């Protein structure tokens, strides 16, 4: 109803897709002529139609026929309408199971046939490889070349892939290629992604949620790894509540006076606040952050290769990513693995900036309309919905709220066991690796065998998901929204589908809520796909991070009163099925009050995210414009157009290399300065100033004389030649440009401020 009213009221960002639906319906009139063509004639006709009438019923009919022949799937009218809308630059909402992958491939083919270079941007390597391989025969029949790129794709393979007509790739990989190309010293070294047309899968996750996270390229430095083992040993002797204190949302940790006294005595009576001991104090604070605020199997994994960070937004391991400012080394010391050398930030690029560089941008997801206004605000991208082909038979039960995680866990076990014994497939959505594995162990003790899918075993995703719809199967997974895979009722055995459907279909049980209603909706959407039966149930604990962090203080008493003494009754109701699930009338009333508080906490979290997106966009504008200016000049130098007048000597090949090096060094230093300014700029509000405006003024002043200083440095180096070293390796930093974000975000930024204040003196 809300979606319908939004379209009728012409709510910001929403757009009717009826004209595309009419074109899709009209494609039937061209079906016979398309079917009569041989493959070569079909490809030629499709190319001609794409160049003269993109999105026309004739082209849609030709694409439908090509898909039927190549991959054995005949697109529904809804898929054709979605493809036509994507070609025209829309964000399209299609429910889970309605065939977004094929719709995106049809749109990519239509654009490529028209002579465009197309990137289909996904959220992970698995989807990029799967979809490029799956849709490969379709592109081949139409005379198009597909390719895919992942985290481990070599530079040479990337270079070849970007020459293809259609490239499937994680959005972050394209961004890192853009960043790495900014530092090449020879034209042949660049991989050159062409930012022409992009179709973004899971558009809301990529374009809204990840838009705030800058892609940060870092390089190795000549500095030796800090000796963090001494600080780690000191911190291990500290007691919580006595020697250090943690704030309520576990975003920061600080030494108490007792903690400082103990450390100083152990160090022989030194004053840790003396300038000479500032580096040690910094290492102690980093070690304290690593031990108290950074959790194993939640924020990172440990294996034979050392520390592997978990991208919680995708539920996967983040390859070649680190935490900045010494925190990564502190965690390595904590876990007793080899401590890596420090690095330096070379450049940054927000996902937002990357996507805005495409000439044509479109996207698709199962939850687009919820962010339609933001897509219009930030990308000028209209959004609309294609309705599902079959009616929705899924039952969504009211949320239940429990006093603590323990009572909630008992209810989850009972709910899973009851549905498992009834022969229903069950999917349990959890918030972390640790939670998923703990719940798997608890279910095993209760006699229920479950398959666990998380960052530790995401390589087995296809096999786990393929069997998740089998009758009686129990699957526990972390973040499902970034996985993009459907759970087919019955699993790979079609004969088992009826048994699973007769048992009630897939049951989705969510352990807690995500910070966004969209993520909750995506998890629920795994049940009831393509008209299948199914049910969903969300069980929330009053101690969940979302609730603790975002519930207004004046509502906390109401929440605790609503759930007090209700855990056991709610758990019993959750286990008993739909009738008893609602519980007694009084219990239901109390739970309704608790749910309203949780709803408000989630709305506050969503509002904070929207504000952060606007802030990130505002602050990144100045940096992006300055970087474009530097890159334009760098490209001139790369072509040999060195400004000899600024050097005070004739240009030469040696001068070219030195100027490139100086421009890159100057930019790294400028970026470090702006990063330090950005961390504290919000304090300008205390003086009645607009922080964003002040940041832009500071950035402009800092950029004045940028090129004169770079050329002066180059002239000095040319006058007294010395060896110039560039980073020997690159990796990426897992940070968020988000000072008010998750506790982990704030913990990282707080640790970083210690380093920049006490070591580099930047703040």
Mention every residue, 6+ apart, whose C-beta is less than 8 A from residue 253: 244, 245, 246, 247, 288, 289, 292, 293, 747
pLDDT of 724 strictly over 50: yes
pLDDT of 583 strictly over 50: no
pLDDT of 753 strictly over 80: no
Mention every residue, 6+ apart, whose C-beta is less than 8 A from residue 144: 109, 112, 113, 165, 166
What confidence tens digit (pLDDT) does each residue in 37-53 have? 999 999 999 999 999 98
What is the structure's pLDDT at 2? 47
Mention every residue, 6+ apart, whose C-beta is less than 8 A from residue 490: 469, 470, 471, 496, 497, 498, 499, 500, 501
Question: CA 326 to CA 224: how far, in whole Å?
Answer: 12
Average pLDDT for 588-597 = 77
pTM: 0.81
* Residues 710-728 as b or e (16 or more Cβ within 10 Å = b): bbebbbebbeeeeeeeebe
pLDDT of 124 strictly over 90: no
What is the structure's pLDDT at 581? 38
Q: How confident is the model at residue 313 (pLDDT cuts 50, 70, 90)?
A: low
Return the structure tokens found at 462: 């296809």
What is the structure's pLDDT at 574? 42
What confidence tens digit (pLDDT) does each residue in 439-485 have? 999 999 999 999 988 766 655 666 787 788 999 999 998 865 555 56
Interstrand relation of 321-322 and 166-170 (parallel, antiparallel or unpaired): unpaired
Average pLDDT for 399-416 = 94
Question: CA 675 to CA 753: how far, in whole Å?
Answer: 10
Place of tokens 């903690």: 259
Interstrand relation of 474-477 and 426-429 (parallel, antiparallel or unpaired): parallel
| Between 216 and 506, residue with greater pLDDT | 506
pLDDT of 77 strictly over 90: yes
Maximum mean pLDDT: which of 190-194, 221-225, 563-567: 190-194
Question: CA 540 to CA 535: how far, in whole Å?
Answer: 17
Average pLDDT for 647-676 = 88
What is the structure's pLDDT at 311? 67
Question: CA 444 to CA 15: how far, in whole Å?
Answer: 49
What is the structure's pLDDT at 449? 93
Q: How confident is the model at residue 173 (pLDDT cuts 50, 70, 90)?
A: very high
Domains of the chain: 2-213+351-385 (3.40.50.300), 224-341+729-763 (3.90.1440.10), 393-605 (3.40.50.300), 640-728 (no CATH)
**3-class DSSP assignment, residue 308:** strand
End-to-end C-alpha distance for the chain, whole angstroms: 51
pLDDT of 588 strictly over 60: no
What is the structure's pLDDT at 580? 35
Describe the crossing of helices 567-576 and 585-638 by its angle, rounded to 10 degrees: 80
Q: How confident is the model at residue 19 (pLDDT cuts 50, 70, 90)?
A: very high
Place of tokens 């109401």: 558
Q: What is the DSSP letter of 740?
A: T
pLDDT of 739 strictly over 80: no
What is the structure's pLDDT at 250? 66
What is the structure's pLDDT at 626? 95
Whether residue 314 contacts residue 124, with contact meaning beta carbons closer than 8 Å, is answered with yes
What is the structure's pLDDT at 675? 81
Question: CA 725 to CA 668: how far, in whole Å?
Answer: 14
What is the structure's pLDDT at 312? 60
Least-confidence region, from 140-154, 357-371, 526-540, 741-755 = 741-755
Interstrand relation of 214-220 and 730-733 (parallel, antiparallel or unpaired): antiparallel
Question: CA 212 to CA 578: how far, in whole Å?
Answer: 40
What is the structure's pLDDT at 685? 67
pLDDT of 414 strictly over 90: yes
Least-confidence region, from 7-11, 217-221, 647-651 = 7-11
What is the structure's pLDDT at 684? 72
Query: For the chain, what percent of residues have pLDDT higher than 70?
Result: 83
Angle at 477 between CA 3 and CA 328, to 5 degrees: 105
Query: For the chain, what percent of residues have pLDDT higher than 90?
Result: 50
Question: What does the mean pLDDT of the chain come to?
Answer: 84
What is the structure's pLDDT at 737? 42
What is the structure's pLDDT at 324? 65
Return the structure tokens found at 704: 């004045």
As a three-state string, the secondary structure of 493-514 is: CHHHHHHHHHCCCEEEEEECCC
Average pLDDT for 394-408 = 94
Average pLDDT for 315-323 = 66
pLDDT of 305 strictly over 90: no
Mention every residue, 6+ apart, whose C-beta is less than 8 A from residue 348: 179, 214, 215, 216, 217, 623, 671
What is the structure's pLDDT at 441? 93
Q: How confident is the model at residue 217 (pLDDT cuts 50, 70, 90)?
A: confident
| Between 220 and 146, residue with greater pLDDT | 146
Least-confidence region, from 83-97, 307-321, 363-377 = 307-321
pLDDT of 708 strictly over 70: yes
What is the structure's pLDDT at 483? 53
Interstrand relation of 118-122 and 91-93 (parallel, antiparallel or unpaired): unpaired
Average pLDDT for 562-568 = 66
């Amino acid at each position: 109803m809300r979606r319908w009213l939004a379209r009728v009221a012409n709510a910001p960002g929403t757009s009717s897709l009826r004209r595309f639906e009419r074109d899709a319906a009209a494609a039937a009139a061209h079906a016979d002529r398309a079917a009569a063509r041989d493959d070569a004639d079909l490809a030629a006709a499709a190319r001609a139609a794409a160049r003269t009438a993109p999105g026309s019923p004739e082209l849609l009919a030709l694409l439908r026929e090509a898909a039927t022949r190549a991959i054995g799937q005949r697109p529904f009218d809804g898929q054709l309408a979605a493809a036509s809308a994507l070609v025209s630059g829309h964000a399209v909402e299609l429910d889970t199971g309605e065939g977004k992958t094929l719709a995106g491939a049809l749109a990519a083919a239509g654009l490529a046939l028209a002579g465009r270079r197309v990137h289909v941007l996904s959220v992970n390597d698995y989807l990029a490889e799967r979809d490029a391989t799956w849709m490969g025969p379709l592109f081949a029949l139409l005379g198009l070349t597909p390719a895919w790129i992942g985290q481990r794709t070599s530079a040479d393979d990337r270079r070849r892939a970007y020459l293809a007509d259609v490239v499937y790739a994680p959005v972050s990989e394209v961004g890192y290629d853009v960043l790495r190309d900014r530092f090449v010293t020879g034209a042949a070294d660049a991989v050159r992604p062409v930012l022409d047309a992009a179709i973004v899968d899971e558009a809301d996750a990529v374009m809204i949620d990840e838009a705030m996270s800058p892609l940060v390229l870092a390089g190795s430095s000549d500095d030796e790894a800090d000796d963090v083992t001494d600080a780690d040993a000191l911190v291990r002797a500290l007691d919580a509540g006595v020697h250090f204190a943690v704030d309520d949302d576990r975003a920061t940790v600080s030494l108490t006076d007792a903690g400082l006294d103990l450390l100083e005595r152990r160090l022989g009576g030194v004053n840790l606040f003396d300038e000479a001991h500032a580096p040690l104090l910094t290492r102690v604070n980093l070690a304290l952050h690593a031990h108290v605020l950074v959790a194993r199997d939640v924020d990172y994994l440990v294996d034979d290769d050392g520390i592997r960070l978990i991208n919680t937004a995708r539920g996967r391991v983040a390859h070649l990513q680190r935490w900045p400012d010494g925190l990564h080394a502190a965690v390595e010391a904590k876990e007793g693995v080899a401590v890596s050398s420090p690095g330096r930030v070379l450049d940054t690029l927000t996902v937002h900036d990357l996507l805005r560089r495409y000439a044509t941008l479109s996207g698709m997801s199962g939850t687009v309309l919820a962010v339609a206004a933001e897509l219009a605000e930030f990308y000028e991208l209209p959004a609309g919905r294609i309705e599902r082909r079959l009616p929705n038979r899924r039952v969504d039960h009211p949320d239940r709220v429990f006093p603590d995680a323990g009572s909630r866990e008992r209810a989850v076990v009972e709910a899973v066991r009851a549905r498992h014994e009834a022969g229903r497939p069950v999917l349990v959505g959890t918030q972390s690796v640790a939670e998923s594995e703990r719940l798997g162990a608890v279910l095993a003790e209760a006699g229920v065998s479950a398959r666990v899918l998380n960052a530790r075993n995401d390589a087995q995703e296809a096999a786990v998901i393929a069997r998740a719809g089998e009758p009686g199967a129990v699957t526990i997974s972390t973040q499902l929204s970034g996985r993009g895979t459907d759970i087919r009722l019955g699993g790979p055995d079609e004969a088992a589908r009826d048994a699973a459907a007769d048992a009630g279909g897939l049951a989705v049980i969510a352990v807690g809520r995500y910070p966004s209603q969209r993520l909750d909706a995506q998890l629920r959407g795994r049940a009831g796909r393509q008209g299948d039966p199914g049910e969903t149930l969300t069980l929330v604990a009053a101690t969940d991070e979302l609730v603790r962090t975002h519930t207004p203080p004046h509502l906390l008493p109401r929440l605790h009163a609503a759930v007090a003494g209700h855990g056991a009754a709610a758990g019993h109701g959750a286990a008993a099925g739909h009738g008893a699930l609602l519980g007694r009338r009084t219990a239901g009333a109390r739970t309704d009050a608790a749910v309203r508080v949780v709803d408000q906490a989630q709305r506050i979290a969503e509002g904070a995210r929207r504000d952060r997106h606007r802030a990130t966009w505002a602050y990144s504008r100045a940096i992006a414009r300055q970087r474009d200016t530097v890159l334009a000049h760098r490209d001139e130098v790369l072509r040999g157009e060195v400004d000899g007048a600024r050097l005070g000597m004739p240009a030469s090949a040696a001068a070219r290399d030195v100027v490139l090096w100086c421009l890159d060094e100057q930019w790294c230093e400028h970026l470090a300065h702006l990063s330090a300014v950005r961390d504290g700029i919000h304090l300008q509000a205390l003086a009645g100033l607009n922080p964003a405006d002040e940041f832009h003024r500071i950035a402009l002043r800092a950029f004045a004389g940028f090129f004169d200083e770079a050329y002066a440095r180059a002239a000095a180096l040319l006058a007294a030649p010395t060896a110039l070293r560039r980073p020997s390796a690159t990796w990426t930093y897992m940070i968020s440009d988000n000072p008010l974000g998750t506790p982990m975000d704030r913990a990282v930024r707080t640790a970083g401020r210690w380093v920049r204040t006490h070591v580099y003196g930047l703040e």
